[in-house]
Amino acid sequence: MFTKSDVERIKEMGAYLDPAYIADVFKVPVDVIEDVLRGNIQGDEMEPAGKTTLKVVEKARFVRNKTVCAVSPGGGKGKTSVLVSLAILAALRNPTGRPVLAIDLAEFGKMPLHMGFRFDDERIMPSITQCSDNPNQNEIFEYLAVRHPQIDNLYLIPGVKVADMHERIETNIIYRVLEVVQRHFELILVDLPARMDLWDEIVARTDMVLVVVSNNYPDIEGMAQLIPTLKRLGKEQQFLLVVNQNGTTGLKQGMFQRVLAGLCAREMPVDAWLPFESGLSGWLNGTETQHCILNNVESEYASELANLLSKLCPDWNLKTSNKKKSLLSWLRR
Ligand SMILES: Nc1ncnc2c1ncn2[C@@H]1O[C@H](COP(=O)(O)OP(=O)(O)OP(=O)(O)O)[C@@H](O)[C@H]1O
Ligand SMILES: [Mg+2]
């Protein structure tokens, strides 16, 4: 019934997933999976004839988690802060409690700083450039992925230590790392390099792209300029638009939407409208002792991110605030 590699895969999955879920993936009764996990089924040496295609389809179903990346029309719009804030929130709020992972592939890696990792002589920062050519699961979990100092189910794969090392990141190692971590983490948030020629293959391996822009006119033009890129990357239907107010002034939401619709010649829904959050710079500059999400998980910034998270992971059934809707329904009464 199972090949040896199926059995191996089921045991790997068994470390993280319920037998009932694995049974659903393999379309077999749950007690068969329990038998495999107990070691009572070893698996056949050969692939059963004619089953190869079916197996590929079945395995693809196993990826129930999400891999998310972020792009922007230019630097400094808030990609890293949005991804990190989402990672923290997701680790705290995902209903399974399964681990969440941030991967830093930027030339100037800022995820460790944003997440609160401090690497020094005591704790040496691992690097994807120091992996073997074909890193196995143990190498990735024991060496590359480091656990957050405060949140047990939050992990980081840090980027390069110095920008010059970036060109040594082999894309096939990135693919291998993604392939392994996608089997184990509930949500994976990837900080992309600024170099667009590196986006194609990485973005193709993600499920959703966050387009992060500021609420100003140049970024509306930037959004219109990004649309052909999203098409080329095959993500025209798989992106969420995040307007991040990283400056204190800018266009109001209604005006922003009207101008955006005019320039793109169609309605373009805004999926998250993030407020200015002074706690972010306070945290990065050391005047705050905690990330703003940990400081206040009920803040307007955190609530808007929770709404975004519920769009990314609708199956989590997060209870999110919808103040505008409840006010409207109250007015309609
Ligand atoms: N909502 C916000 N409120 C206040 N400050 C913000 C907000 N979002 C981002 N910032 C600040 O803006 C700066 C740039 O943010 P961030 O590093 O996340 O941008 P980025 O798009 O990742 O930049 P880069 O292109 O350099 O990677 C940071 O100092 C961050 O704290
Ligand atoms: Mg960044």
Has residue 326 been placed in a domain?
no
From 71, 80, 107, 190, the mutation candidate for ligand 1 (largest count of ligand atoms within 8 A of CB) is 80
> Where residue 15 falls among pLDDT bands split at 50, 70, 90?
confident
Q: Do residues 118 and 229 both lie within one domain?
A: yes
Q: How far apart are CA 46 and CA 52, in angstroms?
A: 11
Number of neighbouring beta carbons within 10 Å of residue 28: 16
Say how many Å lie between the CA of residue 234 and the centre of ligand 1. 26
Establish if 251 belongs to a structural domain.
Answer: yes
Residue reference for tokens 């049974």? 23
Mutate to test the pocket of ligand 1, among 108, 216, 280 (most ligand atoms within 8 A of CB): 280
Q: Does 179 lie in the same domain as 279?
A: yes
- Other Cβ atoms less than 10 A from the Cβ of 264: the count is 13
Q: Collapsing DSSP states into helix, strand and coil, what is residue 171?
A: helix
CB 305 within 8 A of CB 293: yes
Instruction: Say how far apart CA 154 and CA 171 lie, in whole Å.
Output: 24
Q: What is the number of the ligand 1 atom nearest to the C-alpha of 75?
A: 25
Same-domain pairing of 40 and 69: no
The larger pLDDT score, comparing residue 101 to residue 264, is at: 101
Same-domain status, 17 and 96: no
Residue 40 sits in the same domain as residue 181: no
Q: Looking at the domain assignment, is residue 331 inside a domain?
A: no
User: Do the domain assignments include residue 188?
Assistant: yes
- Are 37 and 72 in a shared domain? no
Which secondary-structure segment (H or E) carries 147? strand 146-147
CA of 247 to the centre of ligand 2 (A): 16
Mutate to test the pocket of ligand 1, among 81, 85, 113, 295 (most ligand atoms within 8 A of CB): 81
233 pLDDT more than 70: yes
Which residues lie closer than 8 Å to 263 by C-beta, 6 or more apart? 220, 221, 223, 224
Q: What is the pLDDT of residue 323?
A: 52
Output the domain CATH number for residue 123.
Answer: 3.40.50.300
230 and 88, same domain (yes or no): yes
pLDDT band at 16 (very low <50, low <70, confident <90, very high): confident
Residues 289 and 178 occupy one common structural domain: yes
Q: What is the pLDDT of residues 25-76, one digit of tens each?
A: 787 888 999 999 999 998 887 655 444 444 433 333 344 579 999 999 999 9
Distance 34 CA to ligand 1 centre (A): 47
Instruction: Give nearest CA residue, ligand 1 atom 23.
Output: 76
CB 233 within 8 A of CB 203: yes
Among 125, 73, 65, 75, CA closest to 100: 65
What average pLDDT does the structure give for the chain?
Answer: 88
CB atoms within 5 A of ion ligand 2 belong to 79-80
β-strands 187-191, 66-71 pairing: parallel
Nearest C-alpha neighbor of 199 from the set 221, 224, 228: 228
Q: What is the pLDDT of residues 135-148, one digit of tens each?
A: 998 999 999 999 99
- Whether 213 contacts 82, CB under 8 Å: no
Q: Both 112 and 235 in a single domain?
A: yes
Q: What is the pTM of this model?
A: 0.81
HSE on the CB side for 239, CA within 13 Å? Answer: 29
Report yes or no on 89 lying in a domain. yes
Distance, CA of 44 to CA of 5 (rounded, Å): 9
314 with 184, same domain: the answer is yes
Mean pLDDT of all residues in 296-308: 96
What does the pLDDT read at residue 24? 76
Question: Would residue 97 count as lying in a domain?
Answer: yes
CA of residue 79 to ligand 2 center, whole Å: 5
Task: Let me know whether 15 and 108 are in one domain.
Answer: no
Q: Are residues 145 and 274 in the same domain?
A: yes
Lining ligand 1 with CB less than 6 A are 72, 75-81, 106, 110, 244-246, 274, 276-277, 280-281, 284
- The kind and range of the H/E element at 189 are strand 187-191
Distance from C-alpha of 106 to C-alpha of 139, rounded to nearest angstrom: 21
Q: Is there a domain that residue 198 lies in?
A: yes
How many domains are contained in the chain? 2
Q: Whose CA is nearest to atom 25 of ligand 1?
A: 75
Q: In angstroms, rounded to a whole number, what is the distance separating the alpha carbons of residues 159 and 169?
A: 9
Q: Does a structural domain hold residue 228?
A: yes
The tens digit of pLDDT for each residue in 153-196 reads 999 999 998 999 999 998 999 999 999 999 899 999 999 999 99
Average pLDDT value for residue range 80-98: 95
Domain residue limits at 80: 64-321
CA of 232 to the centre of ligand 1 (A): 26
The sign of the dihedral angle between the CA atoms of 185, 307, 69, 191 is: negative
Mean pLDDT of 221-248: 94
Q: Which is higher by pLDDT, 73 or 333?
A: 73
Instruction: Give residue 119's pLDDT.
Output: 84
